[in-house]
A and B are shown apart, each in its own frame.
Chain A
């Protein structure tokens, strides 16, 4: 196919391979690309390394479905409920499979991505000194300040094979406007070998060029652009979708047992062919409640030369 426009199925099939290091959930609680997460599960990808700061329940779902062999993250759980039960089962009992965990803080996982984005082997920091996260850590080593200051920690570069990012709007070349929470989106996008962009809407190129400071990801870095409205639900998307609280609590409750998790997975992922079917299952009343209809527009910025 010419160009970068893809359906989500093709975008995942072409760009996520077994064993890949996949960064997602990078804006923290908002804009989590849940549609892509569920497609990865449907395509039964395996041995993935999941990279992110706090992934809310996205990593828990990927782990419970057996797609992940490793997690490189600062926090894995469910923000609404606390613990991620699938993560716990995998770490504590190897169910459905054992996983390796590379623990980070938000700062250190961010520095690891930033180092890769800058083309550097590592970045130094003072964070974590005196704690256990940085002890015997595969990606953290003590380092001396060549200018004679106090000793630091070096956080080694981390380059994802693919970053998956959900944004408000993009053009068909993948130039992406994102506003609201940024988290580690830009660092992950700039460091990743490939980028899959899912967006609320594809807009004309002129819309992107009207406001270049809002372009957080330039399209020449992007491999696939997927128009997937509602593709982050139940996470929020500023100006498009409110956070849908009930699914986080429902998942938290049901995933506390293996059987409950499997039933949830069947109902909300495996039995549904795509995101359209997910939205249909949510139903019109829920979608009407979640969709942002009010406008609170930014003042225009004059870019006249």
Chain B
């Protein structure tokens, strides 16, 4: 079964690889949540997870959760503190890495989850939640997005979660994981780290409205191992977050 995996399973694995052992992680929902559990189960057993509702965990939830507030995410937590407590740790600089998503991204790693203007028509999106805080204050951020032309813009319509900018005190976007590849966003560049198996440079250029640094020797994203896939399918047995009708391999 290890040769068959979904694009989202590959993205979870790539997210998990961004977490190092003993790091403090501001965990999001969906794919990063699974990535955190995967990292804990494999190469980063000492990582600590913070959730913006105030939950602090040193092990993944014991049962499948849809939201960070679900009861299995509280049972067995090491602490349930207040939102301002975990945000304060973030502001102090005690969070190593945070995960973010967005509807739109630009070359500086600015993310928009507030409003878009397709064809001049306002589309109101839900807003920041804690994303703007994680983007502003984490030691580094890992961004996860679907790689589509309408999302990868020269300028985002609204900066909900700031990327690289002159007044930044720390951190900023470090890695971007998309449905096509893994990108290095440090120091405000936008360079391909690896392309997912079967993805061409032309496909990335076609889906990105701005210049991407990409050389001929670009690597291929290492596919999930059998162990990694076994964890993901244990944690997401119905494929709620990671299922996809299109299977690679």
Q: Which chain A residues have a beta carbon within 8 Å of chain B's beta carbons?
A: 27-30, 53-54, 73-77, 79-80, 82-84, 87-88, 91-92, 103-108, 110-111, 114, 125-133, 150, 179-187, 235-236, 238-239, 242-243, 245, 292, 296
Query: Which B residues are in CB contact (< 8 Å) with A74?
Result: 127-130
Majority SS at the chain A contact face? loop
Q: Does B81 contact A (CB under 8 A)?
A: yes
Chain A nearest Cβ from B167, distance in angstroms: 6
With A105-B128, A107-B87 given, is the CB distance from A131 to B162 under 8 Å? yes
Rounded to whole angstroms, the CA-CA distance of A180 and B114 in the bound complex is 29
> Is the Cβ of B83 less than 8 Å from the Cβ of A75?
no
Rounded to whole angstroms, the CA-CA distance of A88 and B124 in the bound complex is 6
> Is the Cβ of B124 less than 8 Å from the Cβ of A53?
no
Rounded to whole angstroms, the CA-CA distance of A300 and B90 in the bound complex is 32
With A84-B126, A110-B87 given, is the CB distance from A27 to B133 under 8 Å? no
A-B contacts, 15 of them at CB < 8 A, read A28-B68, A30-B53, A30-B69, A30-B70, A76-B127, A82-B126, A87-B124, A127-B133, A128-B132, A128-B133, A130-B159, A130-B167, A183-B54, A183-B82, A236-B69
Chain B nearest Cβ from A145, distance in angstroms: 13
Within 117-134 of B, Cβ neighbours of A (below 8 Å) are at 121-133
A73 contact from B55, B70, B127, Cβ within 8 A: B127
Name the CB-closest residue of A to B114.
A103
A133 contact from B54, B66, B110, B160, Cβ within 8 A: B160
Name the CB-closest residue of A to B137.
A127
Rounded to whole angstroms, the CA-CA distance of A27 and B71 in the bound complex is 13
Q: Does B145 contact A (CB under 8 A)?
A: no
Query: Which B residues are in CB contact (< 8 Å) with A107?
Result: 83-84, 87, 90-91, 130, 132-133
Query: Which A residues are in CB contact (< 8 Å) with B75?
Result: 296
Rounded to whole angstroms, the CA-CA distance of A296 and B162 in the bound complex is 42
Chain A to chain B: the 9 pairs with minimum beta-carbon distance, closest first? A29-B69, A77-B126, A130-B162, A105-B132, A130-B165, A30-B69, A75-B129, A131-B162, A29-B67
> Is the Cβ of A131 less than 8 Å from the Cβ of B161?
yes
> Is the Cβ of A131 less than 8 Å from the Cβ of B52?
no
> Is the Cβ of B66 less than 8 Å from the Cβ of A183?
no
Chain B nearest Cβ from A251, distance in angstroms: 15
Query: Which B residues are in CB contact (< 8 Å) with A87?
Result: 124, 126
Q: Does B74 contact A (CB under 8 A)?
A: yes
- Count: A-B pairs, CB below 8 Å: 174
> Is the Cβ of A131 less than 8 Å from the Cβ of B129?
no
Rounded to whole angstroms, the CA-CA distance of A184 and B52 in the bound complex is 10
> Is the Cβ of A181 less than 8 Å from the Cβ of B167?
no
Within 159-190 of B, Cβ neighbours of A (below 8 Å) are at 159-163, 165, 167-169
Query: Which A residues are in CB contact (< 8 Å) with B84?
Result: 107, 110-111, 114, 184, 187
Q: Does B201 contact A (CB under 8 A)?
A: no
Majority SS at the chain B contact face? loop
Q: Does B207 contact A (CB under 8 A)?
A: no
Q: Does B136 contact A (CB under 8 A)?
A: yes
Apart from A30-B71, A186-B82, A238-B74, 15 more pairs, CB < 8 Å: A54-B126, A88-B123, A91-B122, A92-B123, A103-B128, A104-B127, A105-B130, A126-B136, A126-B137, A129-B169, A130-B159, A131-B162, A133-B132, A187-B84, A243-B67
> Is the Cβ of B82 less than 8 Å from the Cβ of A182?
yes
> Is the Cβ of B127 less than 8 Å from the Cβ of A181?
no
Rounded to whole angstroms, the CA-CA distance of A6 and B50 in the bound complex is 38
Rounded to whole angstroms, the CA-CA distance of A242 and B73 in the bound complex is 12
Name the CB-closest residue of B to A151.
B167
Rounded to whole angstroms, the CA-CA distance of A216 and B114 in the bound complex is 33
Chain A nearest Cβ from B28, distance in angstroms: 12
Query: Which A residues are in CB contact (< 8 Å) with B110?
Result: 131
Q: Does B212 contact A (CB under 8 A)?
A: no
> Is the Cβ of A105 less than 8 Å from the Cβ of B129?
yes
Query: Which B residues are in CB contact (< 8 Å) with A131?
Result: 110, 132, 135-136, 159-162
Q: Does B80 contact A (CB under 8 A)?
A: yes
> Is the Cβ of A54 less than 8 Å from the Cβ of B80?
no
Within 171-226 of B, Cβ neighbours of A (below 8 Å) are at none
Rounded to whole angstroms, the CA-CA distance of A185 and B91 in the bound complex is 20
Rounded to whole angstroms, the CA-CA distance of A53 and B130 in the bound complex is 9
Query: Which A residues are in CB contact (< 8 Å) with B80?
Result: 179-182
Rounded to whole angstroms, the CA-CA distance of A79 and B135 in the bound complex is 20
Rounded to whole angstroms, the CA-CA distance of A88 and B123 in the bound complex is 7
